[in-house]
């Protein structure tokens, strides 16, 4: 694997966690570049023609989107595999990935972001992780503009959208609890892209410890209370177990 690999990411994004987890699971050395939501748009648009992260560069090749990145990394490093060998199981795993990426994860993110928006200073701290004090200070003062874009970009149009996001979180937790009863995994009898995707999207509602998705402290009390409520669902215990058993340490070089 002689080509340089670079991940352009938001530190606390679920889609970006999917890409990070894949790189780490396959132990692929790479560099990570943390971007700040809002200011990131011009750079990513120039690189890819769109503004969403994650974006992965493998040599001169540019890949946008977590699902496309996972497929590309399966080609770069076949083992350990995330796509099941059996066609029917692989199709099921891809279907679960798609459901979380296009429905449950998108809707649930609205509820999580809305809960955090009550404390703009905390969001500024989260979104500017790894930056120097001046950039963090400047970004904090940009938050009114940034939050408007976050609301617009994530479909947070009012109370109904937030309530739908809460419903999506419960749907997702119900799904992983029910689906994992047979083997402990969502598809077949081993860890796959389905488990990785579901857990990455549910990470904001679970706050897994000692990983890239662990929320910085001190958290707003309102969000801490919400985490305590989600912790009562048995699906939360499954997410934490998968993180504990299958989320390795970072393979990033920086």
Same domain, 55 and 96: no
pTM exceeds 0.75? yes
Whether residue 61 lies inside any domain: the answer is yes
Same domain, 65 and 164: no
Mean pLDDT computed over 62-83: 96
pLDDT of residue 151: 82
What are the structure tokens assigned to 247, written together? Answer: 């989320």
Same domain, 93 and 162: yes
Where in the sequence is the domain holding 39, given as residue range(s)?
5-76
The more confident residue out of 99 and 131 is 99
Same domain, 15 and 106: no
* Structure confidence by residue, pLDDT tens digits, 128-172: 887 888 888 888 888 877 777 778 878 888 899 999 999 999 999
Mean pLDDT computed over 163-190: 97
Cα→Cα distances 107→156, 160, 183, 228, 237, Å: 9, 11, 27, 20, 21
Whether residue 173 lies inside any domain: the answer is yes
pLDDT of residue 11: 87
Mean pLDDT computed over 75-83: 94
Percent of the chain clearing pLDDT 70 (strictly above): 99
CATH number of the domain that residue 112 is part of: 1.20.1050.10
Count up the domains in the chain and report the number: 2
Same domain, 167 and 241: yes
pLDDT of residue 36: 85
pLDDT of residue 229: 95
pLDDT of residue 19: 98
Same domain, 19 and 95: no
Whether residue 109 lies inside any domain: the answer is yes
Domain closes at, from 76, 108, 128: 76
Mean pLDDT of the chain: 93
Whether residue 213 lies inside any domain: the answer is yes
Same domain, 11 and 55: yes
Whether residue 131 lies inside any domain: the answer is no
What DSSP string runs through 227-254? HHHHTTSHHHHHHHHHHHHH-PPP-B--
Same domain, 207 and 174: yes
Question: Is 1 a residue whose pLDDT tops 70?
Answer: no
Whether residue 42 lies inside any domain: the answer is yes
Question: Is 233 a residue whose pLDDT tops 80?
Answer: yes
């Amino acid at each position: 694997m002689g080509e340089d690999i670079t991940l352009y990411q938001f530190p606390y994004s679920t889609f970006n966690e999917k890409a990070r987890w894949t790189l780490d699971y396959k132990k692929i050395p790479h560099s990570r570049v943390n971007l700040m939501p809002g200011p990131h748009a011009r750079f990513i648009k120039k690189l890819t023609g769109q503004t969403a992260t994650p974006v992965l560069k493998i040599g001169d090749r540019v890949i946008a989107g977590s699902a496309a990145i996972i497929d590309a990394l399966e080609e770069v490093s076949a083992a350990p595999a995330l796509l099941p060998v059996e066609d029917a199981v692989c199709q099921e795993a891809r279907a679960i990935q798609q459901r979380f990426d296009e429905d449950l994860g998108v809707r649930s993110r609205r509820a999580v972001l809305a809960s955090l928006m009550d404390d703009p200073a905390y969001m500024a701290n989260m979104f500017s992780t790894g930056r120097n004090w001046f950039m963090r200070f400047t970004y904090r003062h940009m938050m009114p503009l940034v939050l408007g874009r976050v609301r617009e970009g994530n479909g947070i149009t009012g109370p109904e959208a937030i309530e739908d996001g809460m419903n999506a979180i419960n749907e997702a937790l119900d799904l992983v609890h029910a689906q994992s009863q047979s083997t402990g995994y969502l598809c077949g009898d081993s860890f796959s892209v389905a488990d990785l995707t579901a857990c990455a999207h549910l990470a904001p509602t679970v706050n897994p410890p000692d990983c890239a998705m662990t929320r910085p402290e001190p958290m707003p009390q309102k969000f801490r209370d919400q985490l305590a409520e989600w912790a009562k669902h048995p699906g939360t215990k499954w997410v934490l177990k998968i993180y504990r058993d299958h989320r390795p340490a970072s393979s990033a070089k920086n």
